[in-house]
Structure 1
């Protein structure tokens, strides 16, 4: 039986499905939603903007609020509680850095709906990278 599940989540539809899957299929497990901000981009916009903030932790938490609000709505619909944590930097590296703390990782097949080239370059590789390198089982949800 799984007791701790990590659900990396952005604002994509697939990420919401991943959380739904984790909550519905593992009713006894503690579920933690993990959102990473400051994602590198072609123009480094979000990462640079975050780096210019006086309090990076506070700024990261504020940027994660919409994702966590959605996650709590999904959990509330299923009468479940979730924990939330924020990471800063590259999503795959952040997820892999926390992986050993959990029994499994459940993540969406695709990330944010950016341009196809950007998604493949930065976000599309997250699920693939995590599934290849994680020291725990990974479930990828469409």
Structure 2
């Protein structure tokens, strides 16, 4: 029976390590790389307000698609074909909802994608996903 393994990815080294781990440990399973575009009010406002919101979203989507393409290429180097998904929302919540809505059996996640004050203020996505997950979670450092 093939298991569904979810690997949330961002631009961090830890996310890259998590993907590498999943590709080497679960090459015969169905792996999905998920990139969550975190939209918050402060990221879309600023001096211009919402004037350039569409352009801003297009840039975020393009950057997310680029990360997913990099994940597909890395998987191909391992001889593995993966699925990719791009979502919007708060990362921990969106990842947890994806697990529940998509028959995921296991999550492999990097230990953290943020550092410094933002990590302290926002909390750890990996920690929140681990607490909320109804399936096993492997945290890769």
What corresponds to 1:125 in structure 2?
A: 124
Secondary structure of the 1:87 match is strand
Residue in structure 1 matched with residue 134 of structure 2 by the alignment: 135
Contact residue 38 and residue 91 of structure 2 kept, 8 A: no
Question: Partner of 2:80 in structure 1?
Answer: 80
Q: Secondary structure at the match of 1:36?
A: strand
Q: Which residue of 1 aligns with 2:89?
A: 89
Matched, 1:44 2:42: yes
Secondary structure at 2:28's aligned position in 1?
Answer: coil
Alignment check: 8 A CA contact 1:2 1:103 kept: no
Give the match's secondary structure for 1:53: helix
Aligned Cα root-mean-square deviation (Å): 2.4
Give structure 2 stretches of 5+ with no counterpart: none
Aligned residues: 134
Q: Does 1:109 align with 2:111?
A: yes
Gap change, CA 1:2 and 1:134, over 3 Å in 2: farther
Unaligned segments of structure 1, at least 5 residues: none
Structure-2-length-normalised TM-score: 0.83
TM-score by length of 1: 0.82
Counterpart check, 1:5 vs 2:5: yes
Is 1:18–2:7 an aligned residue pair?
Answer: no
